[in-house]
Amino acid sequence: MESLPPQPQTARRGWSLLQGVLLALLLAGTVWVAWAAFRLVPFWTWSAARLAASARLALDFPLYPPPGDGMVTGWVYGPVSAIAYLPAIGAGEPLAALQVAGWLNAGYFLFPIGALGALARVKLHARTDLGTLVGFGAAAWLLPYSTWYGAAALGADTVAICLGALSCLVLAKSGPLPLAAGLSVMAAWTKQPEALLGVAQVAYLAGTAGRRVAWSYVAWLVAWAGGTALFFGTWFGWEGLWHGMITVPSRHPIETGRLPGLLWSWWVSTWWVWLLFPATRWLASGQRGGRPDVLRRSGDLLTLASLGLLPGGLAAAAKVGGDQNSLHAIAYATLGGVAWFAGLLGDDRGPVARTARLGLFGMWALLIGLGLQRVAGHGHFAIREPGAQHRAAFEFARARPGQVYFPCNPLITLLAERRDVPFDYGLLDWRQAGLAPDAAAVRARLPATLQWVVFHEKDPSREVLRFLPEFDRLNQSGPWDFYHRGATNADPGIRASP
C-alpha cells in the first residue's frame, strides 16, 4: 500500500520558512529605523545641554544651585540620569562625548525590551518567536513621538522608563521586593512623575499577592525613598535640590487647553494594546487553574502602570515648556502590549498562536513603514555627521578662553575651559516659574573678558540677552549668530564660523 505524502509536514516547513524570511526582513527594517533615531542624539543642542549635567558632576560643579544664584543650570529633574551618562564625559570633546552618550542611551532604551525577552524565552517555543518579540517591541517603541524622542535625544525619560519598567518586570517575575522597590524609587529620582509608579505597583500586589505582600512592598518603598533622599540631599545640598526638583517645576503653569490633545496622543499610540486585553482574558479562561504566566503578569502590571502614570504625565507634558516625552504611560502600555502579544505567541493552541503571529507581523510591518516614512520625510540620513557643530564650537571656544559664551550649550565651555556658565533655557524656565534670578547675579557668573555671545540656529531660546543688553550687535556666519558690543567689525575673528 502506498503511503500518503507528508503534506502537513511540508506545510509546516513552508510556514517556518516564510516566518524566517519575514522575520529577517522585519528585523532589518527595525534596525534601520532604530539606527536612524539613535544616530540623531548628537544632532540636537538639547542633547548637549542635557549632557552638561553629567559634565558638572564630573567636574564637581553644582547641579542644583541654591535659589538666587546666577549660575542657573536649568536642571529640574532628579540626578540619576546625569549619573547614568557620566561615562560619556571621559571622551573629553563634546561631539565624541555625545556619541558615547548616544550608545549609552540606546542601551537604556532597549534594555527593558531585552529583559522582557529574557523572561519570555521560557514560555516561547521557538527562537523566531523570541526575535519577533524583541524586534516588534523595539519597533513599537520607536514609532510614537513620546518614545522616539527618548531614542533620538538625551534626557531623563529614557533612563526613568528603563528603571521603572525593570521594576515592573521584577515584580511580575516574583523577584525580590527590595530590588523592585529600589528600581521604582530610582525611577522617581530620575523624573518626578515616576513616583506614581509605586502606587500602581502596590495596587497590583494587593490584588494579586495579597495585602501582606503589598504592605511589605510599601515598607521597602519608604525605606528606599528615605535612604536615597538622605544620600542625595547630603550630596547636592537640601536647599538647591528642593528648589530644582520641587519649587521650580511646581511653579510652571499648566496649559489646560493642551490636555485633550495629549490624551488623544496617548490613545492613538496605545489603542492596540487595549484591544489585546479581551484576547488575553479569553485565553486565560481556557487555562485550568494555576497562576497566570509571567508574560501575562508582565502585561497586566505594565498596563496598570500606564494608567497610574497617565495623570502625572499629562500634567508634566501640559506645563509651559513641556512636551509628549513626559507621557511615560505610552512606553509602559506599549511594553505591556508586547508582553501580552508574546503570551499569545507562546500559547499551546496552534490556531491562536498562528493568528497572533500573523497579526503581529502585519502590525510590525506597518510600524516599520511609518518609521521609514518619518526618516525619509525629515531627511535624517541626509545629515552626514550629526552634531558636527559641537566640535566646531568647541575648537572656537578653546582658542578664545574667557571670550566666548554659548548660552544654550554649556557643554562647550565646561569641556573647553573647565568653567560653568548659566544655561539660557534655564533662565527662561525660571522666569516662566516666576523665579527669575537677579541680572547682577547672572552677570557675575560671566567673565569680564567676554566678547561674543553665540547662538546656533537650532537653539530654542535667547533669554540671556535680557541680562546682557550691551550685546546688541549681531553678525551672522552660516548657522551661527554672534552677538557683541561695540563696532560691527570689532574683530575679524567674529566672522569665523565655529
Which residue, of 382, 401, 432, is where some domain finishes? 382
Residues 375 and 462 placed together within one structural domain of the fold: no
22 falls within a domain: no
14 falls within a domain: no
Residues 400 and 325 placed together within one structural domain of the fold: no
Residues 98 and 197 placed together within one structural domain of the fold: yes
Residues 6+ apart with CB under 8 A from 130: 117, 120, 121, 124
Residues 35 and 166 placed together within one structural domain of the fold: yes
Question: Within 13 Å, how many C-alpha atoms sit on residue 206's CB side?
Answer: 10
Q: Give dist(CA 229, CA 288) in Å, integer.
A: 46
> In this model, does residue 289 exceed pLDDT 50?
no
Residues 212 and 241 placed together within one structural domain of the fold: yes
What confidence tens digit (pLDDT) does each residue in 92-116 have?
A: 899 999 999 999 999 999 999 999 9
Which residue, of 361, 382, 403, is where some domain finishes? 382
324 falls within a domain: yes
6 falls within a domain: no
Q: Would you say 353 and 344 are in contact if contact means Cβ atoms under 8 Å apart?
A: yes
> Residue 475: helix, strand or coil by DSSP?
strand
Residues 71 and 177 placed together within one structural domain of the fold: yes
> In this model, does residue 266 exceed pLDDT 50?
yes
Q: Give dist(CA 313, CA 196) in Å, integer.
A: 10
Domains of the chain: total: 2
Q: Would you say 346 and 309 are in contact if contact means Cβ atoms under 8 Å apart?
A: no
Residues 182 and 56 placed together within one structural domain of the fold: yes
397 falls within a domain: yes
204 falls within a domain: yes
Residues 332 and 394 placed together within one structural domain of the fold: no
What secondary structure letter does DSSP report for 467? T
Residue type, 2: E
Q: Quick one: which of 453, 458, 451 has its CA closest to 479?
A: 458
> Residue 449: helix, strand or coil by DSSP?
coil
2 falls within a domain: no
Q: How crowded is residue 451: how many other Cβ atoms within 10 Å of its Cβ?
A: 19
Average pLDDT (282-310) is: 79
Residue type, 325: N
* Domain boundaries, position 98: 30-382
Residue 266: its H or E element: helix 259-285
Residues 359 and 402 placed together within one structural domain of the fold: no
What proportion of the chain, given as a percentage, has pLDDT over 70? 90
Q: Give dist(CA 431, CA 358) in Å, integer.
A: 53
10 falls within a domain: no
Residues 183 and 257 placed together within one structural domain of the fold: yes
Which residue, of 353, 382, 411, is where some domain finishes? 382
Residue 13: its H or E element: helix 7-38
What confidence tens digit (pLDDT) does each residue in 422-476 have?
A: 999 999 999 999 998 999 999 999 999 999 999 998 887 899 999 999 998 888 8
Question: Within 13 Å, how many C-alpha atoms sit on residue 239's CB side?
Answer: 6
Question: Cell 506599549 maps to which residue?
Answer: 334
Task: Categorize the per-residue pLDDT at 348 as very low, low, confident or very high, splitting at 50, 70 and 90.
Answer: low
What confidence tens digit (pLDDT) does each residue in 106-160 have?
A: 999 999 999 999 888 877 766 677 888 889 999 999 999 999 999 999 999 999 9
Average pLDDT (74-90) is: 96
The per-residue pLDDT for 8 is 57
Residues 203 and 318 placed together within one structural domain of the fold: yes
Residues 108 and 215 placed together within one structural domain of the fold: yes
Mean pLDDT value across the chain: 88
The per-residue pLDDT for 493 is 47
What confidence tens digit (pLDDT) does each residue in 381-420 have?
A: 778 889 999 999 999 999 999 999 999 999 999 999 999 9
Q: Give dist(CA 40, CA 405) in Å, integer.
A: 24
